[in-house]
Structure 1
Amino acid sequence: MDMTTEVWHTQVDVEEGLESRLECTICFNCYDNIFKTPKVLQCSHTVCLECVARLVASLPPESEQGKVSCPFCRQPTPIPQQGVTALQTNQELLSNLPPHQRKEEPVWIEGTKLCYKQDPESNQSDLCICVDIGLSKKDIPPPPRPRSRLQRFCCLCTDWKRLLLIAFMVIVLFCILLWPVQCILKTGNLKCTTEATPTKLPTNSLLVTHGI
């Protein structure tokens, strides 16, 4: 009995695979020749320039200076003295971009921003575009100090209308609760008025009134 082996062929969409390669694996934005320029790390992983710059800006002070870890394999990559913009560009991916994006444009770091200025030959030569890559640790405001009791009381007194309303409600509530207690202490029950008992006149007074 002859044994035949069946071979299943899977059709691979080359264009779909190429499109996925042309996206940054961190931010999932398409590569370009400015802020999203594909940069190659020492571990051969490729990410866009903006994502690498954000990784460098978020490094803690106690981390190893001059190196950034790959977000996928954690292998460190030395940062050139010129900054992350001087990292090696993936020319293969850049060549697969549209024709007007195949030339890498100059981008520089200014403080915590990535900046780009258009070609002087263009009509908008004075236009400078910057992208914030993260706040500087020096710009983070300190946590607020806890307020003292006197400060909290002063803040409460500023809202005098609310304080006056609360005081009035407390006085009314106190009077409502105090009235039954006062009646109990005075009369021995909740009736605050006592019944008037008729007074007996002496016998001599009755005789005088009747003319006897």
Structure 2
Amino acid sequence: MSQTNTPARAAIRRRRPFGDDVAKDVAKLQSAFINDAPAAIATLARLRAAAGTLAGSRLDILGVTAVPTEFLPRRLADDPEPVEHARHAALTLYAVHQQSAHDRGMHRDGYGFGQAIALLAAQSPSKDAVRRRFVAMGTAATFTEALHHCRGLVRLLRDKRIALDYGLLADDLREFQAPSGPDKIRSLWGREYHRTTDTTTTTGTDADADTTDSDSPKDQP
């Protein structure tokens, strides 16, 4: 079977400085992991284990997830700042995504979340099942709920080896936490999804995508 898992880009999105910083660190981890560096393998395992936890709650990964001071406000609140939540989420999601893909990187510059999900839907035996999960994430009322659905979709991307830009995702997750952020990011991801043209060339039969998530709430589609 010959398959290209590269989503077409309707338009090039540029990362912000915060996203660039996250992407730089992800790229370093990715290169070391693909080259079987023991330290990178261990770091990704710790990050993967921290997926779904609160930013700052795992002391064993703070050396990786800590946000550089230039992106933090001068006076820190008692609770983690939006940039801290966004960096923690992006790095731990990347670790989930990269798991078992030792021959290729699951972080790729320029590919937004909505575009990656559009390619996933195109390659799935049930495009509607993927779309329903995407819609469920889009209706999430809280950042925590949105991340829950995001993790499930990232697992499906991992299964199909479809990459995305984790710097862009970090920027999006930071913006999501702003007062008007959920509507803005849902609109952005939705437009990416619908504008992405399927240019995937597939020969042979793809394995069925598992569109179930064992830890999904039972009341979700």
Q: Which has the larger radius of gyration?
A: 1
TM over 0.5: no
Q: Select the structure with the greater relative contact order (CA < 8 A; seq sep ≥ 6).
A: 2
Shorter-chain TM-score tier:
under 0.3
